[in-house]
C-alpha cells in the first residue's frame, strides 16, 4: 500500500470500510476476534501512540487523527531518505461491508469534498475497501 502511494506520488487515501464491524464474520479478513468485533481491513498505519511503520525504505508516521460524523481523517508523513511527503487518509466509517450507506447525500458530499482535493501536481487518489 505505502509503496504504491509513494510510487504514484498520491497524497490522498480513501478507505471505504471500517477497520472492524460488530457481529459480522469476515472469512479472509478476521485477524482479531476480541469483544465480538472482527477485523475487516488490516490496519496498515501506525497509531498516534505507536511506533512508526517501516516498509522497505519507507517510514510512515501518524501525525494526527480526527473524527467527524461518519468520517475519520488521519494525517501521515511518509519519508524515504531525506524526502518527506504528507498523506491524508479519509476513512468512511458509515459504509458497512456488504451494505450501502444510509444517506446518499452524505456520500455525494464526501465525493465532492474529495474532488476538491485533486492536485494536478500530485498523483491520483488511492481508493480501497478491504
Convert 18-38 to b/e letters by CB count within 10 Å (16 or more is b).
bbbbeebebeebeeeeeeebb
Structural domain includes residue 34: no
Structural domain includes residue 89: yes
Structural domain includes residue 59: yes
Structural domain includes residue 36: no
Structural domain includes residue 113: yes
123, 11 contact by CB (below 8 A): yes
Structural domain includes residue 21: no
Residue from 29, 41, 122, 129 carrying the catalytic annotation = 129
pLDDT at 12: 95
CATH number for 68: 3.90.190.10
Structural domain includes residue 53: yes
Please tell me the pTM assigned to this model.
Answer: 0.78
Q: Is 129 a catalytic residue?
A: yes
pLDDT at 100: 73
Fill in the DSSP letter of residue 28.
T
Domain carrying residue 84: 2-15+45-128
Number of domains in the chain: 1
pLDDT at 29: 38
Structural domain includes residue 66: yes
Q: What is the pLDDT along the chain (130 residues), one digit of tens a residue?
A: 899 999 999 999 999 877 655 544 333 333 344 445 555 567 888 888 878 999 999 999 999 999 987 889 999 999 999 999 999 999 988 776 677 777 777 788 888 888 888 888 999 999 988 6
72, 93 contact by CB (below 8 A): yes
Amino acid at each position: 500500500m505505502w509503496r504504491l502511494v509513494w510510487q504514484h506520488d498520491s497524497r490522498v487515501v480513501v478507505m471505504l470500510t471500517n477497520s472492524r464491524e460488530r457481529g459480522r464474520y469476515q472469512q479472509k479478513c478476521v485477524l482479531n476476534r476480541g469483544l465480538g468485533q472482527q477485523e475487516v481491513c488490516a490496519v496498515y498505519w501506525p497509531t498516534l501512540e505507536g511506533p512508526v511503520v517501516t516498509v522497505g525504505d519507507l517510514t510512515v508516521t501518524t501525525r494526527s487523527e480526527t473524527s467527524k460524523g461518519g468520517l475519520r481523517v488521519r494525517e501521515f508523513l511518509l519519508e524515504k531518505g531525506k524526502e518527506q511527503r504528507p498523506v491524508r487518509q479519509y476513512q468512511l466509517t458509515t459504509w458497512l461491508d456488504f451494505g450501502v450507506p444510509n444517506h446518499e447525500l452524505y456520500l455525494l458530499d464526501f465525493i465532492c469534498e474529495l474532488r476538491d482535493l485533486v492536485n494536478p501536481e500530485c498523483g491520483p487518489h488511492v481508493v480501497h475497501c478491504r
